[in-house]
Structure 1
């Protein structure tokens, strides 16, 4: 899928839906195609549709990225790269013309159909890359050589305009698709303007239903994209940054620059020290395509004056052509300040995330809105990460065409939260009870996810330990299970006060666990995170039957014990330390009937 010699690999066919490039047996994304077969890392070999069409999507997107890379080389004086880029653009112009003006015949009924791809979204991403290749080539090669590409870009822009109008008519304007349709329209317009045509970019950036209006509708006041999904937050942010090439920040629509800074700050706060982004609400990131997207995000974000730094997130194996392309993206000559940003505990009240930091750990409490079609049934989940280890991570989902997405990974028990009577939680928005930042940051939240059940979670984070308290009460005897989900080989043993767990990685972490009344903590093998469902991981189930329960966990490298005291509904947690001292935490000064 890259330029080799004097040939660029471009499929001579329309693409399908990339989410179907998944092994139906093992749930993993398939490996690169080999002789019209599609291997799985566990030994399966698939042929025919839908895998051929899904692979064509990935091949087309890779070819489009290769055209951008070739254009950068051409701008540096590489004539062979210029010829290869022109040839690739001409072949795409021919292919797009041969497809006619009809929508993709195999698009599923729920899809916003494209022409070269089943999804108009996929087509917009591909078209944005092609537009930037032409943008970079303009002024480097004779304008006449780009005339077939100009016709192609006009068609892509009209397709994007029609698709955006359909979204508006459906009442789905704030959808993440709109961000990429606008990115395609704006990027095409910038490129065509460099070829002597009227510049329509302002319509796509600042006009009706353009980027400015979309950001105002789709981005929360706390900087999160409204779905609360890490993947789609980054997805929309990349679209915005790609769309504003050659737009000095002072010319951006009112409020857009501020929203972009807030969105970048979300990424900076959320990431772990080694650059991992938790897979909140949806798709996990990983692999070469993820590294390429993150490298692009880091470089484009650095072009915004005073932008929060993402330098710690940038993959070390990133390709140098990205940096050459990004330089001067917003009309400047140099990349922005790449000084590392400090990342402390933060509350995102609109998305409903409390990010908690201590020495060697990072935790996230999810109490916010459900998140639309990408939301998971895991309200009041508590995720826990080391600098490199996923001690209790968000598991994400496999590609959407696989049944495990809905049958397992979106369900409640796949998340580190509570189930009642074995049922899934209902879709809900939690309520923030309090947030008190400081040397010891404390947060509490509640969620009405089971009828007749009161469910709260309280978390305290300080440099030495993380304390987690789950309180639940019901209108009758119920089966309460608190799930602990791991991506390490967590060990469990019974103790005098309850249980102790050991979480390896990053020097290790010890958990002390006690409950009122006594609850049974069992462990067994289960599916691992969604990037590889076959990677077996421990599933800890902490279970008690009754009308009320309190589950208390203290994670630390220095704590020696845990004691829980409950008197007249008032709960106090005592944590012993190796130096002989004790930390005392009155959890919540609230009545608990």
Structure 2
């Protein structure tokens, strides 16, 4: 079924489609009135450089501008420079390609010829300009170079939007004059040559066929072959080395996660797959049900997202990837609309609604809805309860228990290569109202904070030693057990630090979540063992000043740096010391009580109570840290539970609605009591060979 047919059906059958088309038309009218729909004669640079060097926030882009020499940070900085202009041009070229597709969709929906003319003008002007862009002389050495952009990757993505616009116009019977068609044919030929060359480099010269680049080079070529009617070429691309089926088999794990373990790149690759499938469908080839060698599928990849999203529909920012940004939200909306329309995955409805909320379009009146949507999300008020999940190949575990609004997501898998973080045994703690301790995301790569904070261990909810990050490594899941009343997982890391064994035990019941993190060092030397927690709301807990201008020093060095390399330091202010209760149990342990007010911005307020056991010699410090990747300049307060020793047990428990009391009965046994529930004392024992056990 073609995109044009879907549009005509929507206008006839769905009341929202006409309203959405009208809104998209008005958006184009605003751009026309501003005179901003002119093709830049300069190629784009690298969008990751579009970031404020002071605040590390992405700079503002206004599609109404024809050109720009000054670039604005949300905090008032005005920045100039060629690299920023090059990055701005990336956004401009991409926005114009989107206008070409949007105008074609408006014409297909409303039949107003001027929008077909606008789309055709943009397509032809780009086709004529494309040969005049140089193979980018300013691209960085590691990049596969493009013409219209530094990266061939960016070019591939941009080209799919333009070619989809071209195909949609053709579906609607729009004719191109001979000179116009000749320009488009030349563009398609030049583009195909580049994409085929880069596929050869990646697949055969670099032996890197699983790269996410490959999926997009395939998508771009699929669009070219569809536009030129070359079914044999498309079939060869699907079946060949590095083609659709092969990439699905090697670029996605058997548990359906993209191989880098990054949610962002998972969405990124899945979107490329869906474009390839859309092009194949034009030849009657169905890729939507295709599976990889170990059962990988687009349906499975979409179901991962439905499972991993929090109860608001927000996706976790595992490994590299933004926590939130508008272009990413549009990508999520595009694949979620298709997941609902093609596969009927109800769990994607909250994901779609959250994407549109981030775009300021709660009613979903967006191009993605018009092109790919079926209106299914509106009919799904709740996808129903979701179970606990283990992704054994990718190394993620998600805990949910009936009756408990708390849930967790933990990371024990592979490092993730160039997009990985030093974050093994990281814990994301979620509540139905809001995620409390998310992965903080990743800033654009042009920011120095990519490697000096956001990839480092100390920016995650896990354990570091002496201010240093873990080595790149893979942990393991020792035990994962789900019963009718509880979820238990035992995660282990032995390669993060030499001679260090870390075991994280997570036990979720219908009432609470217990987090028992045990660290043991070989040898006689003690170290600062540091347990980190990064809540996104300020904790309510007793504090006292720690000292004048005292700092925590994070040591940063490339993990593969030579032994004599100079380490960088990032000092973080110690803003206070948390006060534990004076009462100690028979083993000398006291308790820290904290609470977190969640969901205020969502009008679903909830309180999570947090209790920590504090052993003699432990410190619990409040550390001022950068904010999340959306705006690192807005500081957060982390909790650092640390101990100078060869061994540490960090025992923390969380409950929604009311607090929990913890008592240390022995080195290996604790008691948990919930004061507002009678007969609620639970004894938990930690056994080296079995993990946590109810006693």
Question: Once the two structures are superposed, what CA deviation does each residue of 1:350-389 show, in whole Å capped at 9, x if it has no partner?
Answer: 1111112253333111111101111111110111123353
State the partner residue of 2:530: 481
The Cα of 1:296 is off from its aligned counterpart by: 0.8
The 1-side partners of 2:216 and 2:342 are apart by 20
TM-score in terms of structure 1 length = 0.92
State the partner residue of 2:623: 524
State the partner residue of 1:286: 324
Change (3 A) 1:383 1:25: same
State the partner residue of 1:129: 161
The SS at the match of 1:508 is strand
The Cα of 1:254 is off from its aligned counterpart by: 4.5
1:179 to 201, 206, 215: 215
- Is residue 498–residue 518 contact of structure 1 (8 Å, CA) maintained in 2? no
The Cα of 1:9 is off from its aligned counterpart by: 3.8
The SS at the match of 2:672 is strand
State the partner residue of 1:321: 367
- Is residue 468–residue 553 contact of structure 1 (8 Å, CA) maintained in 2? yes
The 2-side partners of 1:397 and 1:587 are apart by 38
- Is residue 345–residue 441 contact of structure 1 (8 Å, CA) maintained in 2? yes
- Is residue 225–residue 234 contact of structure 2 (8 Å, CA) maintained in 1? yes
Give 1:99-178 correspondences, 5 Å limit: 99=133, 103-140=135-172, 141-144=174-177, 145-168=180-203, 169-178=205-214
The 1-side partners of 2:265 and 2:298 are apart by 14
Change (3 A) 1:541 1:305: closer
The Cα of 1:428 is off from its aligned counterpart by: 0.8
The answer to which of 183-192 and 286-295 deviates more is 286-295
Question: Once the two structures are superposed, what CA deviation does each residue of 1:206-250 show, in whole Å capped at 9, x if it has no partner?
Answer: 333211110100100111001001111111111111111152674
The Cα of 1:73 is off from its aligned counterpart by: 1.5
The SS at the match of 1:163 is helix
State the partner residue of 2:394: 351
The 1-side partners of 2:448 and 2:227 are apart by 41
Change (3 A) 1:83 1:550: same
Question: Is residue 2:636 matched to residue 1:537?
Answer: yes
The 1-side partners of 2:516 and 2:638 are apart by 19
Structure 1: state its 5+ residue gaps.
328-332
- Is residue 312–residue 434 contact of structure 2 (8 Å, CA) maintained in 1? no
1:25 to 54, 57, 60: 54
Change (3 A) 1:162 1:549: same
Structure 2: state its 5+ residue gaps.
1-26, 543-579, 584-589, 600-605
Change (3 A) 1:587 1:525: same
The answer to which of 450-459 and 384-393 deviates more is 384-393
1:580 to 657, 675, 678: 678
Supply the RMSD in Å over aligned alpha carbons. 2.5
The SS at the match of 2:399 is strand
The SS at the match of 2:674 is strand
The 1-side partners of 2:521 and 2:290 are apart by 49
The answer to which of 298-307 and 349-358 deviates more is 298-307
- Is residue 390–residue 488 contact of structure 1 (8 Å, CA) maintained in 2? no
State the partner residue of 2:228: 192
TM-score in terms of structure 2 length = 0.79
The answer to which of 244-253 and 106-115 deviates more is 244-253
- Is residue 288–residue 298 contact of structure 2 (8 Å, CA) maintained in 1? no
- Between the two proteins, the alignment pairs up a number of residues equal to 582
Question: Is residue 2:462 matched to residue 1:417?
Answer: yes
2:507 to 450, 457, 460: 460
Change (3 A) 1:109 1:264: same
The answer to which of 290-299 and 215-224 deviates more is 290-299
- Is residue 464–residue 558 contact of structure 1 (8 Å, CA) maintained in 2? no
The Cα of 1:308 is off from its aligned counterpart by: 5.6
The Cα of 1:8 is off from its aligned counterpart by: 2.1
The 2-side partners of 1:360 and 1:158 are apart by 53
State the partner residue of 2:646: 547
- Is residue 390–residue 398 contact of structure 2 (8 Å, CA) maintained in 1? yes
State the partner residue of 1:330: none
The SS at the match of 1:233 is helix
The SS at the match of 1:470 is strand
State the partner residue of 1:404: 449
The Cα of 1:98 is off from its aligned counterpart by: 1.1
The Cα of 1:161 is off from its aligned counterpart by: 1.2
Change (3 A) 1:12 1:445: same
Question: Is residue 2:326 matched to residue 1:297?
Answer: no
- Is residue 612–residue 652 contact of structure 2 (8 Å, CA) maintained in 1? yes
State the partner residue of 2:545: none
The answer to which of 253-262 and 10-19 deviates more is 253-262
